[in-house]
Structure 1
Amino acid sequence: MGLDDIRGRIAAAERAAGRAAGSVTLIAVSKVQPADRIEAVLGAGQRVFGENYVQEAQGKWPGWRERFDGVELHMIGPLQSNKAKAAVELFDAIHTLDRISLARKLAHQVAEQGRSPQLFVQVNTGDEPQKAGILADELPGFLVSCRDLGLSPEGLMCIPPEDEDPVPHFRLLRRLADENGLALLSMGMSADFEAAIAEGATHVRVGSAIFGARSYGQTVKSTGPLV
């Protein structure tokens, strides 16, 4: 597999679902991937990337943004409240708004910095006690609280339980988005993104199927601007 294969499969899934070509955004999940793999994907024209760790993203993306126009960064991992300032500075979208304390921190930074990343609320569709996310029945109240703080969430995100069919979770997320007037759905990963597209995903998060197995423990930095 690789980037071309994933792009082709996304296009096929869009057609099969009767959706417009290009209606699904591919987020290439580049966390802990070696620099040469990321640069190869950048060289192939991919511009939307997902990172799980603020510090890692700070260490590698400024240089690539100087070299490659139009890079868009999405925060798709758990976000610590003390990293809100850096996240608002660096990311174009945050998919893991999952608690009111984080909403308060983000609202403060949005007001202070004068820029607002696109926001997705993470929903715990499986009601899993070990997993972050707003419970489905608490979502309307949480959205009201976010809007009262001056935030404008545009979408929802979920990570279905590993041992369950993801489709019911995708359907639940889409229903919640429809009921709450949200247009964007971040759902679907390497193993199930085609099913997610069939259920209305607007953003899919694919990592290993593009880059190969992750290289944990390896330092990843961009090489800086070309001269």
Structure 2
Amino acid sequence: MPLSDIKARLAKACEGAGRQVSDVELIAVSKVQPNERVRAILDQGHRSFGENKVQEAASKWPMFRESYDGIKLHLIGPLQTNKARQAMELADAIHTLDRPKLAKTIARLAQDMGACPDLFVQVNTGEEPQKAGVVPAEADAFIAEARALDLPIKGLMCIPPVEDVPSLHFALLAKIAERNDLAGLSMGMSADFETAIALGATHVRVGSAIFGERVPG
């Protein structure tokens, strides 16, 4: 589906929710996509992108930044502590802060580097054992712990279980964000971003609907 169609759907969803289009950032998820597909989206003026893996991000985005101004890169996949420095050097935002060890590592590196990307706490709203993220019952304490480290916590992120109704998870994430005075909500993907916008999403992560099906490496 053309980028223009996705942007039109986003605008319609915002209008239906009584929100401004500028309130929602469309992250084009470019993981496992050939460079020519990414370049085609860049050539249309889009500048917000998402990657799952630090190694893949490092292989493409420094190159693209040489040719295009204003790129904003979001890391949206699980982050290993030994990749944290490279992630912080590459990304403008990391959406997967999910454990104390990673929070402490990022805080230490932020002191060394004198800068830190925007951070989103990943909440495992479905409490799925195979999925990263802090469980909802522990989210408040972890957010407080991260803030005590002077980390720039901008919001929360979730990936609902595929078999569940996503709106229940989006509503839960919004509730946790509200009681912790967090404005950012990274939620909603190709199949459900309009629902996410209706429930307050500030960042939607859309991949296949923009780029087509992924091409595994």
Shorter-normalised TM range: over 0.9
Q: Matched residues, percent identical?
A: 59
Alpha-carbon separation, structure 2, partners of 1:93 and 1:204: 13
Q: Tell me whether 1:182 sits opposite 2:196 in the alignment.
A: no
Task: For residue 144 of structure 1, report the CA deviation from its aligned partner.
Answer: 1.5
CA distance in 1, matches of 2:77, 2:126: 18
Shift of 1:198: 0.4
3-state SS of 1:194 partner: helix
TM-score w.r.t. length of structure 1:
0.94
The CA RMSD measured in Å over matched residues stands at: 0.7
Specify the SS of the correspondent of 1:22: helix
1:34 maps to 2:39: no
CA contact (8 A) 2:116 2:152 kept: no
1:44 corresponds in structure 2 to 44
1:42-62 Cα shifts (integer Å, max 9, x gaps): 000110000001011111111
Q: 2-side partners of 1:205 and 1:96: how far apart? A: 13
Letter of the structure 2 residue corresponding to residue 111 of structure 1: Q
CA distance in 1, matches of 2:30, 2:57: 9
Equivalent residue for 1:70? 70
Residue identity matched to 1:105: T
Do the aligned residues in 2 keep the contact of 1:11 with 1:22 (CA within 8 Å)?
Answer: no
Matched, 1:193 2:199: no
**Separation in 2, partners of 1:2, 1:78:** 28
User: Is 2:142 the partner of 1:142?
Assistant: yes
Cα distance between partner residues in 2 of 1:44 and 1:61: 17
Give distance in 2, aligned partners of 1:24 and 1:55. 27
Give aligned pairs, total. Answer: 217
Rounded Cα–Cα distance in structure 1 between residues aligned with 2:12 and 2:94: 27
Taking the aligned partners of 1:174 and 1:119, their CA distance within structure 2 comes to 16
Corresponding residue for 1:100? Answer: 100
1:162 match = 162
Q: Secondary structure at the match of 1:128?
A: coil
Question: What runs of 5+ residues in structure 1 fail to find an aligned partner?
Answer: 218-227
Mean CA deviation greater in 91-100 or 19-28? 19-28
Q: Cα offset for 1:130?
A: 1.4
- Aligned structure 1 segments of 4 or more residues deviating by more than 6 angstroms: none
Determine the C-alpha separation between the residues in 2 that align with 1:83 and 1:169.
29
Confirm or deny: 8 A CA contact 2:78 2:96 kept in the other structure: yes
- How far 1:21 moved relative to its partner? 2.5
Given the two structures, how large is their TM-score scaled by the length of structure 2?
Answer: 0.98
Gapped runs of 5+ residues in structure 2?
none
Helix, strand or coil: the match of 2:153? coil
